[in-house]
C-alpha cells in the first residue's frame, strides 16, 4: 500500500516546491511509481518550473468534479529520467483559475476534501501508486489543511527564521496534532553545518524547539538557489550533495511503517 505525503510550511519561501519536486524525482529514480500534485492554487508553480505551458485538465478540474483523476495525470517520467514512473498533476496558473479557486465556499471545500480522500482508492489502490506527494500552499489555507487531513505523513519545510519558528511551533500544536498526523521536519537553508559537532548541535536545537523528529537538514547551496528551481537536482545532478540528502530523506520515508 502506497503513502500520501503532504509537504507544508508556515511561511512561503521555505522550499516546499523544491523539496516536493526533488523528493518525487528521487522516489522515481529508485523505481517507484510517483504522483506529484500541485495544490498551491493561489500561486501555482509546477507548470512554470517544469515548463508545461498547457495541459487539457488540471487538479482544479478534478476537485471541481468535472473530470476523473486519470485525466489530470501528465506522464513526466522522461523529463525526470525516472526508472519508475512520475506523473504530475498541475494547478491551473491562469489568473481566472486562481481567482475562481480563491472564491470557493465551505461546501465546495468539503467536497474537495472528499475528492482528495478518494485518491487513496483511485491512485494508491487501483493504480498501485507508491507515493502521492502533495505540494501545498503555506499557512492555514483550506487546500493545505485538506491535504494534511488526506496525508499519511506531513513534511514540514522550515528555516530558522524567527517568525517561521514561532509559526511552525504553533502549527505543530494547533494543526497537525489535532489531526493526529505523523509529522517530520525538514530544516532548509541551513548555514554552517560543515562539521559533525555543528550538525549535532543544530539537531539538538531543533529537537528542543519543535519536539518532533528532524528528517533532514539541507544546507544553503548556492548552485541550488542560482538554478531558481528549474533544475531538478535529484534527476539531473544525482551526485550533488543536495541530491544525496534527498536520497537519505527518501530512504527514511521508505523505511517508515
The residues of the shown chain that bind other proteins, judged by CB under 8 A, are: 103-111, 113-114, 117, 142, 145-146, 149, 175, 178-180
- Beta strands 74-75 and 85-89: pairing type? antiparallel
Q: Cβ of residue 122: shortest distance to other proteins, in angstroms?
A: 13
Question: Which CB atom, from 60 or from 188, has the smaller least distance to other proteins?
Answer: 60
Q: Cβ of residue 168: shortest distance to other proteins, in angstroms?
A: 17
Q: Cβ of residue 97: shortest distance to other proteins, in angstroms?
A: 14
Measure the CA–CA gap between 51 and 34, rounded to whole angstroms. Answer: 19
Question: Which CB atom, from 23 or from 129, has the smaller least distance to other proteins?
Answer: 129
3-state secondary structure 85-135: EEEEECCCCCHHHHHHHHCCCHHHHHHHHHHHHCHHHHHHHCCCCCEEEEE
Question: Which CB atom, from 179 or from 204, has the smaller least distance to other proteins?
Answer: 179
Measure the CA–CA gap between 94 and 44, rounded to whole angstroms. Answer: 9
Question: Which CB atom, from 117 or from 191, has the smaller least distance to other proteins?
Answer: 117
Q: Cβ of residue 238: shortest distance to other proteins, in angstroms?
A: 37
Measure the CA–CA gap between 188 and 101, rounded to whole angstroms. Answer: 29
The strand pairing partners of 185, in sequence order, are 156, 214
Q: Cβ of residue 109: shortest distance to other proteins, in angstroms?
A: 5
Between CA 61 and CA 64, with CA 63 as vertex, the angle to 5 degrees is 60
Question: Which CB atom, from 52 or from 140, has the smaller least distance to other proteins?
Answer: 140
Amino acid at each position: 500500500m502506497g503513502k500520501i505525503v503532504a509537504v507544508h510550511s508556515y511561511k512561503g519561501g521555505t522550499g516546499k516546491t523544491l523539496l516536493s519536486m526533488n523528493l518525487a524525482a528521487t522516489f522515481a529514480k529508485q523505481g517507484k511509481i510517483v504522483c506529484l500534485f500541485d495544490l498551491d492554487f493561489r500561486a501555482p508553480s509546477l507548470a512554470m518550473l517544469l515548463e508545461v505551458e498547457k495541459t487539457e485538465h488540471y487538479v482544479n478540474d478534478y476537485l471541481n468534479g468535472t473530470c476523473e483523476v486519470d485525466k489530470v495525470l501528465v506522464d513526466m517520467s522522461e523529463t525526470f529520467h525516472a526508472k519508475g514512473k512520475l506523473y504530475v498533476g498541475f494547478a491551473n496558473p491562469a489568473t481566472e483559475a486562481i481567482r475562481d479557486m480563491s472564491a470557493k465556499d465551505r461546501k465546495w471545500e468539503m467536497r474537495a476534501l472528499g475528492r482528495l480522500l478518494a485518491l487513496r482508492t483511485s491512485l494508491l489502490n487501483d493504480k498501485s501508486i507508491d507515493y502521492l506527494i502533495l505540494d501545498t500552499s503555506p499557512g492555514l489555507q483550506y487546500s493545505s489543511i485538506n491535504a494534511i487531513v488526506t496525508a499519511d505523513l506531513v513534511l514540514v519545510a522550515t528555516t530558522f527564521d524567527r517568525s517561521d519558528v514561532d509559526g511552525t511551533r504553533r502549527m505543530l500544536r494547533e494543526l497537525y496534532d489535532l489531526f493526529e498526523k505523523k509529522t517530520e521536519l525538514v530544516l532548509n537553508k541551513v548555514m554552517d553545518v560543515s562539521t559533525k559537532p555543528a550538525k549535532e548541535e543544530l539537531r539538538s536545537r531543533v529537537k528542543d524547539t519543535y519536539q518532533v523528529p528532524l528528517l533532514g537538514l539541507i544546507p544553503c547551496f548556492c548552485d541550488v538557489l542560482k538554478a531558481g528551481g528549474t533544475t531538478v537536482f535529484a534527476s539531473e545532478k544525482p551526485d550533488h550533495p543536495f541530491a544525496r540528502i534527498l536520497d537519505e530523506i527518501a530512504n527514511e520515508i521508505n523505511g517508515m511503517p
